[in-house]
Structures are given as C-alpha cells and as structure tokens.
Copies of this chain bind each other. A is one copy, B any other.
Amino acid sequence: MALPRRLIGVDWGTSALRVFRYDGEGAVVDRRETAQGLIHIDGGAFEAALTEIVEGWREGPVALILCGMVGSHQGWIEAPYVPCPADADALAAALAPLSSRLGPAFVVPGVSLSLPDRADVMRGEETKVVGAAPPGWSGLVVSPGTHAKWVSVDQRSIADFRTFMTGELFAVLSEHSLLARTAAPGPDDPLAFEAGVRRGHEDRAITSLIFGARAEVLLGRMPGSAVRSYLSGLLVGAELAGGLEGTRPGTPILVAGSEALNPRYAAAFRILGMPRVTMVDGETAAARGLWRLAVLAGLTEGDP
C-alpha cells in the first residue's frame, strides 16, 4: 500500500521564499524562509532554489503547492488569473500544473478584477484570504505590504478588491524624493505616525500632504527624525480612507500582515476609532490557504 502523499506549501513572492511542511492533518510541522524572492532568482533557476530549501522534506511521496509571484509572467510558469468573484473552489479548479522533478506540483492562480473604471490584480493574497476567512465569513481582509490589498469577501468568496501602493510609495519616496534629504535617522515616532494617519485619512490630497512633510521640517514644526513615521502614517491613513470608502459600519475586518506591519495597522485603526479589527498572522493564513486549496484539488488527503 502506497503511503499517502505529504504536502509542501510554498509562498514565493518578489522578495522572499517561504516553505511549509505539513503533517497529515494540515498542521505546519516545519517552516523555512530565505531571501530568494523572484528578484534574486537568476535565469529561471526556480527548481534548484526550491530543491535546496526543501532538502530533507522528501523522504516519502510529496506534492507541492505554490502561490505568489512565482505564478506571474516573471515567475516559474504563468498561472492565468481567475476573475472575481473567486472562491476557493474556483481557485483549486484553476491550479496550474508545474513540471518539476520534485513531485506533483501546482501553482495557485492570481485573481483579477476588471470593472469599467477600475482594474486590479493579486497573486498570493488570494491564498491568504482562503486561509484567513472562516467558513461562511463575509467582510474585509486587509493584507498590508508593498502593494497592500483590501479584499471584499462575500460568503468566503473574493467579491472585489483594491490594491494600495503604500509600501512601495513609502520606499520610493524615502529613497528617491526630496523627503530623502528631509528625513533624519531616528526611532519610530508614534505621535508623528498618529498625526500622519489622521491627516492622510481626513485630507484626501495625499500628493500635497507628502510635500507638507518637507514644509513641517523647514518651518521647525517637526524634527527630521519624525519624517519617516509621519510619511508612513500619511500613506496608511490614505489607504484606510480609500479602503474603507463605501464600507458598511460594523463590517468585520481581518488584517493579515506580518509581525512588523500588523501593529502599525492595529494602531492606525485604533487612531481612527475602529479598535475592533482582528489581527491574524499573514504567514499562518498563507500556509492554511495553501493546505486548503491542496485538499480541495485532491493533491493531499485531509480536511480543507
């Protein structure tokens, strides 16, 4: 009698590679992480990088399921987007098979949105949503990061979503704009962050508020060491204003971010008088979503 296949989950984004080893019930029994994100994989050496990171995890038969930018045009194979509305069944049915010596391997498709006045795409966050949203759940799942996603979930299905360039804007403005010359090194400044969140949320002219950080310093109203916290607050505040627009009060909100970003978002929601947001660990959500999609697709046995 053949052993049942064990599952390896892979969350492979632009800047990091994370792998999860599951037991037969879907619990993560081991995890590994490297900085071998897509931008650090030369010449399509995906298989070599993956083989190396899962070393010792393939004593018996395994199946692999991958999500994230690894399924993009710049990735290992391109997994076509599933259009909204997209639930876990639709995603599991659209897994893209990958030719690999490691064993049966499949890539989770991204999700696309195409409205007359708005287009959007995600890759990786759909898996987090699948892992984070409980059965029958409706609400907003927020995935902070370089390209923060606000995902409207209806009965556990991705109904709509919107990307905010918060993290990338923070990085390019901090490094390449006049704010690079304005900001001085310093620890996080919670009061500057709070002021930024309030202004970025109330005043929608964010392209003006950003310049305002320079003026605050030039006029001696703010120390240079507060600029980065203030800018972070402005961008997160603007993101919350945009993401919450049209949302019914009382809508359940799950934030599925990293250890670094979750406290920042918790603070921002608290500053805006919305303390009842649920914080979940983004990596745990991704690992859980990969397991669930693998079970739905019959890659492994278990409870989705």
Task: Give me the interface of A with B, judged by CB distance under 8 Å.
Answer: 73, 81, 112-114, 117-121, 147, 162-166, 168-169, 172-173, 175-178, 199, 203-208, 210-212, 214-216, 218-219, 221, 235, 238-239, 241-243, 245
Name the residue on B nearest A166 (C-beta).
Answer: B207
Is the beta-carbon distance between B119 and A207 smaller than 8 angstroms? no
Which residues of chain B come closer than 8 Å to A218, judged between CB atoms? 73, 112, 121
Name the residue on B nearest A121 (C-beta).
Answer: B215
Which residues of chain B come closer than 8 Å to A219, judged between CB atoms? 81, 112, 114, 119, 121
- Complex: A94 Cα to B207 Cα, angstroms: 30
Is the beta-carbon distance between A215 and B164 smaller than 8 angstroms? no
Is the beta-carbon distance between A211 and B165 smaller than 8 angstroms? yes
CB proximity of A40 to chain B, nearest CB, Å:
16
Enumerate 7 A-B pairs (CB-CB under 8 Å) in ascending A order.
Answer: A112-B219, A119-B219, A121-B219, A163-B215, A169-B207, A172-B173, A205-B245
Name the residue on B nearest A163 (C-beta).
Answer: B211
Known: A205-B242, A221-B114, A245-B205. A172 touches B162 (CB 8 A): no
